[in-house]
Every structure is written in C-alpha cells, then in structure tokens.
C-alpha cells in the first residue's frame, strides 16, 4: 500500500500495434507493427522516469499512448486509481489538466501565427480558467517562471531563439498546474550550451512545483543527469529498468551496455583509455522483429536459447532494490 | 551529389537576434511584396479596377446603354474616347461599366468556390478516412470536366443571367480549393503544435479554426487571387457565347462577341474591351504570383 | 611527422542575402597536418559547416561567396580556383561526407553505379575494373555481400549502411583529406559508433587526414588530435585536443565544457551554463561576438574584435583577456 502511494502513474502491459494497410482501398491488412509491445513501469511522485532507446524502439509512441493522443491496443495506464483508457470524454478532459507534454522540436511545437501570450494562454482558454485579465496575468507569471521577459508576451515564435521557444513550450505545459509532464526529447534539438540551460530549468521547476517527469531521450547522458529511474527500450519492449545510479554503475542487459559504450565521453584522457564495445549490425525493422529475444542478432552474448525464447523481465538486484532486466545472461560482461 | 549539397538555410542559419526580426508572417510578406515590381503593378491594376467599378457613374462620359443612331461606328475621338459600336453606344463608358460585372463575377464566384472548397477540404483533410475518399473522388469528377465546357453545360441548364454565372463558376471552382486546403492540412496536421493542442483537450473545431486555418491560409490567398482572373475569363467566354450577362448590360465578353462582325471596319470595338480583359487578368495573375513569392520566398 | 597538408588562412565566406550580409565564416585560420584528425566544433550558425564547404567551394548559391583568405593545398591556393578547376580536387584529392546520406545519394541509380561514377570521373579505367574496385570499397566499409549490394538502390539500405556507402564513395580515389560534416548526427547512437570507428580506421590505414565537423564534444574527445572551436562565424580557439579540454583559454570553450551532461558524472543539481543564445550573423556589432554571453567581459571587449593569434606554441585564441587567463593557468 505504502509503495503504491508513491506512484503518480502506472503503465501496465501497454501495447500499441499499428496495422499495416495496403491495397487499393487501404483495407487489406498485412500484419502489424508492434511499436509498443507490453511495457510496464511506474512514475514516482515528484521524480523523473527516464525512457531511453534508439529510433523505432517505441518510446515516443508510448508517450503519446499514455496521454491518450493515440488509442492503445492493450494494457492500462493507471492514474489516480483509475485506468485512463476507460474514462469518458468528460473525465479525460479533466485529467488532461494534470498531464502535459513538451516536444522535441521548438519550431514545430509552436504555431507560427500565434503570439507567445496566445500560445501560453491556450490551455487556460480551453479549460476556461479565469477571465481575460487573470489569464494575461497568469501568462506573465508563467513567462517569468521559465525565465523569459514577460514584456515579450506579444512576440511571435520566430522572434525567439530555439532555447527561448522551448521555454515557451514549457510555460504552456505548466499553465494548468499539471502534476505530470511528458518530455519527448526536450533538449535533443538544441545547441549544447542551450541544452544545459533547459535541463537546469526543468530540474529547478520540478523541485519548485513538485512535478513528475517522464523524460524520453536517446541521449543517455542527459537522461542520467535528470532521472531517478530509467527504463531502456528496444524494439517495443522494455529490456532493463533500474534506479539511475544502479543502471549506470552496473548495467545488466547487453543492449544497455552497448548503448552506454557507444556514447563517447567528452574527456579525451578518459575516452582514449576507455574500452568500448561497438554493437554490430543494424536496428531491425519493427515490422519483422527477430524471433526470441529481439536483440539476439546484435548481441555478443547470444546463445541458441536467445533465438527461440523470449526472456522476461526479472529482478537481478544485489542490493535489495529493483533492477529488472530481460536477458538470459543478465549481468555477464560483454568482452 | 556535391552540387545540391546544403540548403542555404542550414548553412547560414543563426539564432534570430530580436533586434532584427520582424513581427509576423504577414508583415514580412508585405515587405517582400512591396519590393517586387511586378506584384506592385498587379496590385495597382487591381486597385484601379476596384476604383473604376466603384465610381463608374462618375468616370463614364455617357450612358452605357444609350443608343445614338447617327453616331454609329464612330472611331475613337474627342467626343467618344474609345469610339462607338454599331448601335452608337459609347465604348469607353461600356468598358467602364463592364468592369463592375467582371469584378463582381470574379469576387463572388471565387468566394463561393472558396466557401465550398474550404469546408470540403477541412473535412477531407482533418478527418481523413471515408469522408476524405468520398470528397476527393467527387473533386476528381470536377477536375475531369473542362472548366469552360462545364460552365457552358451548367449555364445551358440554368439559363443565362449574372446570378447563374456566380453559381456556375462558383460550383466548378471548389474542387481546386478543396484539394489545396486538404493538402496543406495534411502537411500541418501532424505538427507538434496540433498535438500539443490535442493534449490540452482542444476540440476538433477549435483546432481547425485556431491552428489549421491561420497556418494554411497563405496558399489559399494566393490561389484565390489567381482564380479571380480565371473566373473573369470564364465569365467573358460565357458572355461571348451569349450565355452570360444579357444585353444591353455591358459585359466585356459580350462586347467582344458583338465586335466580331466589324473587326475590319471598326477594330476599336474589339480592341478596348479585349485590352480590359487582358489587363484585368494580368493584374490578378501578377499580384497572385507576387503574393506567392512573398509568402514563401524559397519557392522561387 | 608534422607535415603540413592543408593551410587555411584568414578565410572569409560571406552570404549576400536580401536581408543583409551574413558573415558565415569570418577570418578562419588553421593548419591540417598529414595523418591528423582535426575536429571543428561549434553550435548552430557557428560557421563550421560553411568552413568545410568553402574548402571545396561548395558554398550554397546564389548568395554565398569566398571574399577573402587562402586555402593552400599542395602548393596551390584552391580558394582562388574556378568551378572547373576545383572539380579536379572534389572527390579526388579531397572528399566529403555529409550529414544526410539519404539526400546525398541519387535514388534512381544503383549504389554500384554511383560509386563507379565517382571512380571513373577521376581515373582512366574501364567499367569492369571500376566495378571491381567499387566492390572492394563496399567490402572495406563493412557492407555484407558487396557483390550483390552493388546492384541495390539507396532506399534498400538502412541509414547506417547508406553512410557506409557514402564513405566508400569518398574513399574511391584515395583522397588525402576526408571532410566529414556531422557524419553521424542523423544516425542512432549505436550506429554512430560503428560509422565513426570505421571512418577513422580506414583513414588510418590509408594514411589520410580527416576534418571532422561536429557539435558533439564526446566525438571530438574520442577521435580528434586537434580542435578548432568556432563561434558566430569566427574561430575562437585552436589547439591540441588536450589543451582545448584541460587548459582552455577562451571563456566560450570553457563554458561549453562545463555545460555538457556527461555519461560518467553523477546526477548533480545544476549544470554550469552559458547564458543567452548564439548570435544572429546579420549586422554583427563591432566588439567580441561572445561579449553578450561572456562571464569575463570587460568594457573594452565591446569595442573591438580580438585578433585570433598564437598565444603560446600551438595554441591560438581570440580573446582580449587571454594574457590574464594564461597567467592564472601558470599560477595554478
């Protein structure tokens, strides 16, 4: 019970399959892309859950399904004790106030024809919060919260730099005092010096407003910096979930090891000494994933069993915490 | 491979310094437009036409329908600037009044096309699926029809008259607008700001009105402007064939048709209304072209 | 060992746009030695890509032009060459690999055709030997079943494989210099590692030099011997890799190092940041471009742009206060 309380949102066996349609009338079904294939995790109150993976692993699809922007093929997302997929339109509308999203592309995420003020006040308009004067005051308050000049309220997005635009996106997400913000690669489109600004802003806001984040990224360094728990996805499935420090100190799944090894550390002396393991091969297409453990064609540890059976997530922790990995040879060093 | 290397934009993009950036797409477009000489010529022609059609009674020197038998087929001169026709009517005044019909048809007919087209395009583009397939197939049928032939057919059914011209041209033109609007919706429907609005709980109606319309309007304005020129030509053709505005109302197309028999003896009868049509259409096309470049300078 | 291969001196490439002159590259100087990997680092709009494009005069037309400086390669100033003459160098003595392999390959020709073409432009050999050579190249860049893959079209390859093909094409005429402009930015992390390893490996074998343009300081740390840091179209610092990372003299370099979230560092609360955003390159003010964001700025910095000069052996920097930073460093 106590454990349950700590979670703001739980994702249980979430699935999203896309039908591949072909043919003249687009009605001949040719199978499925299993973009998200049964993932389970929880986001703790006031904490950040980092979701990591390469393109096609399903992390963005998972984010959009959790927000019910696309309909799931199966599973549950439990928020406030109820499954949001079973909510009525009206109930869902109310829940939307508490869950928001920040996008990757600071250009595509703001309508070029609206002023910063209009963009940030849109959530207030939609949910009919306060009157005009209140909304304007609130927008100015939000602008200062994200460290923008409130006097720039009437400017258009193209008059801001990409970092400032990302701040506008954050202000919009904060307008309704949400509890959870899904951050879909919020810094990967930004310049290095601006990335740090945004990451700092986000961690600062998290503390100040007691927000929970689902932080999606392909950049392990940024994820490590902000997350307390991390899940690694590969081809629609979760391959490892652990506390952030445990994951980085002692990765269990060979994919996680390879992923971490692939990221060069910006420190020439350390980097030149580091023994890197380069994963070979391409990421397979999710249309036709490999049998058994879908990582086996690229895995240096793969045995016959990996081709035939799919490993389930099991706990491999040695310190009493939870450190789940889906591998028959979890924890075995790669070389 | 080396030649098409990099988009200029990537290579030289810097962050916009606030001091130097401008306030909105429309102001920006206007600035580019005013630098485009051809567009300004087009705009001047359109402005002149609007002025002429609004103030026709003051600009005309004669009653456009008044017949003066003894002044039949007078060449251009001090009394009749553009000469007279077989019935002794002042061609100058008829051309002036004719602008009213052309402008009215151009604007109202395109307005009708626009309304139908935007509605259909919005449904097709935003909701997709069956409604999309159905609407676009109907649009295909309209595309398959030659424009003028279609107009003639409709006019033959409805009978001549200015209101029927509105209807004929308006109905025939919607498919272009629908297709254009649909494709610009498709290109922005999956933009993240639309997703952001959906995540906020915005209704479909709000998303279309607040986000999709303002972001897809530029190509519609461009196409609409050019289409006014087309509509004017179709109207002239219909009037030329006797299916349009009925005499004695002075329509340019109809004046051309009357001039045919006197092409050798009284060429001015053909010249002035002909030039009026040419300049009008040119005005709209130049302006539309300029608008396109102004809205999207990369398309050049 | 330190045999000079390419020397760029005071290169200026400007874009004359309707909105004003964009000084995309303004006074860049560096030296590339044989068998060396030079990293050019910078953010969006820093001019790192345009620098690379200027070397082979591939500057986007119609606005761009080299307006000053020299590019000395093999005793010839290739900055002064016309399009016809420079073509002899492109893809031959100096090759390029671009960020987006999908856009750099022609979708209507087979991969084999395109590699053979790049061989036959510069070498007088018949089709059969060109084909053999193309196959060897594909094999060298790690494409399985090269014989069969010669007949494949670009869309039949994955992003990583396409970039391998691009590298094969770039290597076709055994160039002395390979310029790689963000070669892995569009690729996934694990594929990035494969491609970079391959590139450096192959170039080591052939004894060529690499100019590696990137925004990723980790990549630079791993592969580069020397680094040039660019900001706002100008070079701010140029030196050996270790000096840039451990003894940076320019406040921008210093700030950049502090602002990276590192894989091997613990979760900390705040990263050190550089305030503000990179500048617009139109109508720059006279002083130091970094002035508005600089922690160490003084009054004089806004008045004139500091000269980019060698302040100690092999260490170039453009900062008015470099002498103080040098002294501080000497004092520990």
Which structure tokens are listed for A193? 């010096």
A323–C contact, CB cutoff 8 A: no
Looking at the domain assignment, is residue B123 inside a domain?
yes
Residue C227: CB atoms within 10 Å: 27
Contact A260 C215 (CB under 8 A): no
Chain B residues lying within 8 Å of C102, measured CB to CB = none
Taking only the tens place, the pLDDT of each residue in C247-292 is: 999 999 999 988 888 887 765 667 888 888 888 777 677 889 999 8
pLDDT band at A21 (very low <50, low <70, confident <90, very high): low
pLDDT value at position A16? 94
B206–A contact, CB cutoff 8 A: yes
Rounded to an integer, the average pLDDT of B149-163 is 85
Q: What percent of chain B has pLDDT over 70?
A: 90
pLDDT value at position B299? 43
pLDDT band at B257 (very low <50, low <70, confident <90, very high): confident
Chain C residues lying within 8 Å of B20, measured CB to CB = 19, 280, 282-283
pLDDT band at C315 (very low <50, low <70, confident <90, very high): very high
Average pLDDT, rounded, for chain C: 89
pLDDT reading at C187 higher than 90: no
Looking at the domain assignment, is residue B25 inside a domain?
no
pLDDT band at B172 (very low <50, low <70, confident <90, very high): confident
Q: What is the Rg, in whole angstroms, of the alpha carbon atoms belonging to chain C?
A: 21
Chain B residues lying within 8 Å of A96, measured CB to CB = 199-201
pLDDT value at position B19? 36
Looking at the domain assignment, is residue B93 inside a domain?
yes
pLDDT reading at B9 higher than 60: no
Contact B196 A93 (CB under 8 A): no
pLDDT value at position A93? 93
Q: Give this prediction's pTM.
A: 0.84
Nearest to A32, CA basis, from A63, A61, A67:
A61
Rounded to an integer, the average pLDDT of A204-225 is 92
Q: How far is B95 from chain A (nearest CA, A)?
A: 42
Contact B2 C58 (CB under 8 A): yes
C13–A contact, CB cutoff 8 A: no
Q: How far is B47 from chain C (nearest CA, A)?
A: 28
Sign of CA dihedral B220, B222, B226, B228: positive
pLDDT value at position B11? 35
Sign of CA dihedral B288, B291, B293, B295: negative
Q: How far is A313 from chain B (nearest CA, A)?
A: 31
DSSP secondary structure, C96-142, as one string: EE-S-HHHHS-TTS-HHHHHHHHHHHHS---HHHHHHHHHHHHHHTT
Rounded to an integer, the average pLDDT of C27-35 is 93
B17–C contact, CB cutoff 8 A: yes
Average pLDDT, rounded, for chain B: 81
Write out the residue range of the structural domain in which residue B114 sits.
2-12+42-295
Chain C residues lying within 8 Å of B300, measured CB to CB = none
Structural contact between residues C229 and C236, judged by C-beta atoms closer than 8 angstroms: yes
Nearest to C205, CA basis, from C137, C252, C256:
C137
Find the helix or strand (DSSP H, E) in which A315 lies.
strand A314-315
pLDDT band at B10 (very low <50, low <70, confident <90, very high): very low
Looking at the domain assignment, is residue B24 inside a domain?
no
Helix (H, G, I), strand (E, B) or coil at B284: helix
pLDDT value at position A94? 93
User: Could you say which DSSP state residue C26 is in?
Assistant: E
C102–A contact, CB cutoff 8 A: no
Which structure tokens are listed for B289? 């072209």
- Provide the residue count of chain C: 332
pLDDT value at position B7? 35
Looking at the domain assignment, is residue B36 inside a domain?
no
Residue C298: CB atoms within 10 Å: 13
Rounded to an integer, the average pLDDT of B46-57 is 89
A23–B contact, CB cutoff 8 A: no
Give the Cα-Cα-Cα angle A263, A268, A270 (nearest 5 degrees): 75
Number of H helices, E strands in chain A: 12, 12
pLDDT reading at C182 higher than 80: yes
pLDDT value at position A27? 57
Give the Cα-Cα-Cα angle A230, A162, C275 (nearest 5 degrees): 85
pLDDT value at position A113? 84
Rounded to an integer, the average pLDDT of A320-334 is 89
Taking only the tens place, the pLDDT of each residue in C146-160 is: 999 999 999 888 888
Contact B200 A105 (CB under 8 A): no
Q: Give B3-9's long-range contacts (Cβ < 8 A, gap of 24+).
A: B3/C58, B4/C103, B5/C53, B5/C58, B5/C60, B5/C98, B6/C49, B6/C53, B6/C58, B6/C60, B6/C98, B7/C60, B8/C15, B8/C60, B8/C63, B8/C64, B9/B298
Structural contact between residues C65 and C79, judged by C-beta atoms closer than 8 angstroms: no
Residues 6+ apart with CB under 8 A from A161: A194, B15, B16, C277, C278
pLDDT band at C39 (very low <50, low <70, confident <90, very high): very high
Nearest to A278, CA basis, from C141, C193, C221:
C193
Chains sharing 3 or more CB pairs under 8 A with chain A: B, C
pLDDT reading at B264 higher than 90: no
Least confident of B94-103, C233-242, C309-318: B94-103
pLDDT reading at B13 higher than 60: no
pLDDT reading at B4 higher than 60: no
Chain C residues lying within 8 Å of B7, measured CB to CB = 60
Q: How far is C50 from chain B (nearest CA, A)?
A: 6
pLDDT value at position A137? 95
Sign of CA dihedral A221, A223, A229, A235: negative
Residue B8 — φ and ψ, nearest 5°?
-50, -40
For residue B147, the domain's CATH number is 1.10.3720.10
Contact A261 C193 (CB under 8 A): yes
pLDDT value at position A59? 92
Structural contact between residues C288 and C278, judged by C-beta atoms closer than 8 angstroms: no
Residues 6+ apart with CB under 8 A from A333: none
A169–B contact, CB cutoff 8 A: yes
Q: How many CB pairs under 8 A join A and B?
A: 74
Q: How far apart are CA B71 and CA B86, in angstroms?
A: 9
The gap from C-alpha B214 to its chain's centroid, in whole angstroms, comes to: 20
Nearest CA in chain A to C254: A193
Nearest to B11 among C49, C96, C279 (CB): C49
Taking only the tens place, the pLDDT of each residue in A4-19 is: 558 999 999 999 998 8
Q: How far apart are CA A160 and CA C60, in angstroms?
A: 26
How many domains in chain B?
Answer: 1
C247–A contact, CB cutoff 8 A: no
Rounded to an integer, the average pLDDT of C42-49 is 89
Taking only the tens place, the pLDDT of each residue in B209-254 is: 888 888 888 888 888 988 888 888 888 888 888 887 877 778 888 8
Rounded to an integer, the average pLDDT of B41-58 is 90
Rounded to an integer, the average pLDDT of C102-123 is 89
Strands (E), A168-278: 180-184, 212-217, 229-234, 237-243
Helix (H, G, I), strand (E, B) or coil at A80: coil
Taking only the tens place, the pLDDT of each residue in A116-127 is: 999 999 999 999
Chains sharing 3 or more CB pairs under 8 A with chain C: A, B
Q: How far is A247 from chain C (nearest CA, A)?
A: 12
Rounded to an integer, the average pLDDT of C182-199 is 88
Structural contact between residues B234 and B48, judged by C-beta atoms closer than 8 angstroms: no
Rounded to an integer, the average pLDDT of C148-173 is 90
């Amino acid at each position: 019970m106590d454990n349950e309380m700590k979670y703001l949102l739980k994702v249980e066996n979430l699935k999203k399959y896309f039908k591949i349609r072909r043919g003249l009338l687009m009605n001949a079904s040719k199978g499925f892309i299993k973009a998200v294939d049964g993932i389970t995790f929880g986001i703790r109150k006031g904490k950040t859950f980092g979701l990591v993976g390469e393109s096609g692993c399903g992390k963005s699809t998972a984010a959009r399904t959790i927000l019910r922007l696309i309909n799931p093929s199966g599973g549950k997302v439990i928020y406030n004790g109820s499954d949001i997929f079973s909510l009525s339109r009206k109930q869902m509308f109310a829940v939307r106030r508490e869950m928001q999203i920040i996008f990757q592309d600071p250009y595509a995420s703001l309508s070029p024809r609206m002023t910063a003020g209009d963009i940030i006040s849109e959530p207030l308009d939609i949910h009919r919060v306060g009157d005009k004067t209140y909304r304007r005051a609130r927008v100015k308050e939000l602008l200062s919260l994200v460290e923008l000049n409130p006097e720039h309220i009437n400017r258009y997005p193209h008059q801001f730099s990409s970092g400032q635009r990302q701040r506008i996106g954050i202000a919009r997400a904060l307008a309704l005092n949400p509890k959870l913000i899904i951050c879909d690669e919020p810094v990967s489109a930004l310049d290095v010096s601006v990335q740090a600004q945004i990451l700092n802003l986000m961690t600062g806001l998290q503390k100040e407003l007691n927000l929970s984040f689902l932080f999606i990224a392909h950049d392990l360094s940024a994820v490590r910096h902000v997350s307390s728990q991390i899940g690694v996805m590969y081809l629609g499935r979760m391959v490892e979930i652990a506390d952030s420090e445990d994951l980085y100190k002692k990765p269990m799944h060979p994919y996680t090891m390879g992923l971490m090894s692939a990221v060069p550390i910006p420190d020439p002396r350390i980097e030149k000494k580091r023994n890197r393991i380069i994963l070979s091969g391409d990421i397979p297409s999710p249309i036709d994933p490999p049998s058994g453990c879908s990582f086996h064609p690229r895995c240096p540890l793969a045995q016959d069993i990996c081709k035939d059976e799919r490993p389930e997530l099991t706990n491999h922790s040695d310190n009493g915490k939870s450190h789940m990995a889906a591998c028959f040879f979890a924890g075995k060093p790669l070389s | 491979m080396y030649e098409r290397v990099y988009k200029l934009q990537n290579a030289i993009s810097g962050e916009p310094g606030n001091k130097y950036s401008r306030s909105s797409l429309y102001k920006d477009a206007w600035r580019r437009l005013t630098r485009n000489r051809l567009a300004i010529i087009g705009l001047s022609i359109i402005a002149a036409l609007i002025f002429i059609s609004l103030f026709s009674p003051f600009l005309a020197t004669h009653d456009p329908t008044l017949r003066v038998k003894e002044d039949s087929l007078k060449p251009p001169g001090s009394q009749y600037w553009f000469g007279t026709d077989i019935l002794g009517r002042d061609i100058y005044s008829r051309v002036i009044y004719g602008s009213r019909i052309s402008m009215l048809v151009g604007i109202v007919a395109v307005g009708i096309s626009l309304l139908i087209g935007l509605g259909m395009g919005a449904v097709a583009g935003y909701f997709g699926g069956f409604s999309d397939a159905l609407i676009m197939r109907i649009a295909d049928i309209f595309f398959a029809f030659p424009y003028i032939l279609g107009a003639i057919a409709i006019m033959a059914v409805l009978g001549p008259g200015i209101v029927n011209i509105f209807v004929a041209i308006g109905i025939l033109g919607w498919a272009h607008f629908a297709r254009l609007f649909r494709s610009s919706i498709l290109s922005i429907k999956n933009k993240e700001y639309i997703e952001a609005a959906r995540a906020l709980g915005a209704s479909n109606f709000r998303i279309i009105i607040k986000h999709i319309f303002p972001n897809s309007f530029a190509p519609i304005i461009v196409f609409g402007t050019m289409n006014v020129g087309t509509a004017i030509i179709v109207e002239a053709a219909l009037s030329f064939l006797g299916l349009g505005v009925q005499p004695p109302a002075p329509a340019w197309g109809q004046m051309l048709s009357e001039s045919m028999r006197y092409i050798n003896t009284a060429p001015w009868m053909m010249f002035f209304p002909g030039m009026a049509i040419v300049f009008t259409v040119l005005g709209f096309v130049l302006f539309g072209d300029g608008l396109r470049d102004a809205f999207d300078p990369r398309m050049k | 060992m330190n045999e000079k291969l390419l020397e760029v001196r005071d290169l200026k490439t400007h874009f004359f746009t309707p909105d004003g002159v964009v000084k995309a590259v303004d006074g860049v100087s560096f030296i590339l030695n044989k068998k060396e990997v030079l990293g050019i680092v910078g953010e969006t709009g820093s001019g790192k890509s345009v620098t690379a494009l200027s070397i082979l005069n591939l500057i986007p037309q119609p606005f761009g032009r080299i307006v000053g400086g020299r590019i000395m390669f093999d005793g010839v100033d290739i900055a002064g060459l016309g399009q016809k003459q420079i073509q002899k160098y492109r893809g031959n003595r100096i090759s390029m690999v671009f960020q987006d392999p999908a856009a750099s390959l022609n979708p209507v020709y087979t991969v084999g055709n395109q590699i053979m073409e790049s061989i036959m432009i510069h070498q007088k050999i018949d089709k059969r030997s060109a084909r053999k050579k193309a196959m060897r190249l594909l094999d060298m860049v790690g494409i399985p079943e090269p014989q069969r893959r010669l007949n494949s079209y670009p869309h039949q390859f994955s992003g990583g494989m396409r970039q391998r093909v691009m590298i094969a094409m770039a290597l076709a005429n055994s160039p002395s210099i390979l310029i790689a402009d963000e070669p892995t930015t569009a690729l996934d992390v694990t594929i990035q590692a494969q491609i970079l390893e391959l590139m450096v490996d192959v170039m080591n074998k052939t004894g060529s030099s690499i100019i590696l343009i990137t925004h990723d300081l980790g990549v630079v740390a791993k592969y580069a011997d020397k680094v040039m840091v660019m900001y706002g179209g100008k070079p701010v610092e140029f030196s050996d890799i270790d000096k840039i990372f451990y003894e940076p003299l320019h406040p921008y370099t210093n700030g950049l190092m502090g602002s990276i979230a590192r894989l091997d560092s613990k979760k900390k609360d705040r990263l050190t940041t550089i305030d503000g955003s990179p500048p617009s390159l139109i109508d720059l003010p006279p002083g130091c471009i970094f002035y508005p964001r600089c922690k160490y700025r003084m009054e004089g910095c806004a008045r004139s742009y500091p000269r980019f000069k060698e302040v100690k052996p092999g260490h170039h920097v453009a900062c008015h206060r470099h002498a103080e930073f040098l002294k501080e460093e000497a004092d520990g």
